[in-house]
Amino acid sequence: MSVPVFDDRVAAVRSFNRFFTRQIGVLREGLLHSVYTLTEMRVLYELAHQGDQPAAVLGRDLGLDRGYLSRILAKFESAGLVSKVPSATDGRSKLLHLTARGRAVYEPLERRSREEVGDLLARFGEADQLRMLDAMRTIQQMLDAESGFKYAQPFVLRAHRAGDMEWITRRHGAIYTEQQGWDDSFGKLVGEICADFERNFDPALEHCWIAEMAGQPVGSIALARDGEEGVGKLRLLLVEEQARGYGLGSRLVDECHRYARAAGYRKMRLWTTDQQKEARQIYQNKGYVLVAEEPVHAFGQDMVNETWELTL
């Protein structure tokens, strides 16, 4: 049964849209006082944060007309910001690659964007900042969940609840046994991490997200206290096989970073190994730097333990 939409509600949504676009400055001809439009900046953002990818995938994820995207890419290639490189898995396929020049152009704009948002948030106290972020998260999740939005991502994020830690423990153990050949000591370690997280949970400084597709959990990530003042710990990143290819891992990390900034963290830290190639690529794309490594024998395998850090 369809729900009636009243004119005053339509007007209220349109009014909010006009207000918010004015607040964040997207009506300016050049976004962030640059020569680039909002769409052009979004293309640079995706290549900087998601890494090399086919033009068709980029266009699909952004909901852009093929001809419009082609003109943007031609402009970027001419300026030396973007190049095309062969796919590592299919030599016939070409991937879009953000060049060193492109990254040098993008990164100051990314810093400027973070500063502008930081200035906006700084106008409010801690409680109001978190209230605003919760309202934004509610809007995003509700719209993502509506299949009527053609280009909505096929997953939604929610806070963890009873039973989720058991699922995180079970799926970490199963996936790393199946795909990496690790023994069950890894699942036991994840169980200890989850139990510690729940036992000492501080909702003002910590959060755990569960990603769902069609009502089923397909991913997770957690923000935990590190023990060092101002440092947050990224933990429990997981993306199920059927949810890969949609940028879910990157989205989970972004969500964790947004919450960490609002909570007042100045730095993020994480532990991984040299065997977790896809996760390491996400961390590198987000700007994490490898600060320590140690060869070990763990979970039945020879590997290298790695510590990565990111200044927020």
293-304 residue pLDDT tens:
999 999 999 999
Each residue's pLDDT tens digit, 30-56? 555 677 888 888 899 888 887 788 888
Model confidence over 175-198: pLDDT tens digits?
Answer: 999 988 999 999 999 999 999 999
Q: Enter the tokens of residue 71.
A: 């003109």
Q: Are 231 and 206 in contact (CB under 8 A)?
A: no
Contact status, residue 133 vs residue 126, Cβ threshold 8 Å: no
Task: Quick: pLDDT tens for 120-167.
Answer: 888 889 888 888 888 888 887 777 655 444 444 678 888 898 899 999
Q: What dihedral do alpha carbons 8, 13, 16, 18 form, nearest 10°?
A: -100
* Residue 1 confidence class, pLDDT cut points 50, 70, 90: very low
The CA distance from 49 to 137, in Å, is 20
Torsion of CA 279, 283, 289, 293, to 10 degrees: -10
CA 164 to the chain's CA centroid: 20
Alpha carbons within 13 A on the beta-carbon side of 168 = 27
CA max distance for the chain = 65
Of 25, 57, 47, give the one whose Cα is nearest residue 38: 25
Determine the Cα angle at 118 with ends 116 and 250, to 5°.
Answer: 95
* CA dihedral for 56, 58, 64, 66, sign (positive or negative): negative
Q: What is the value of pTM for the model shown?
A: 0.54
Domains contained in the chain, CATH given:
7-122 (1.10.10.10), 153-311 (3.40.630.30)
Residue 297, token pair as written in the block: 């024998």
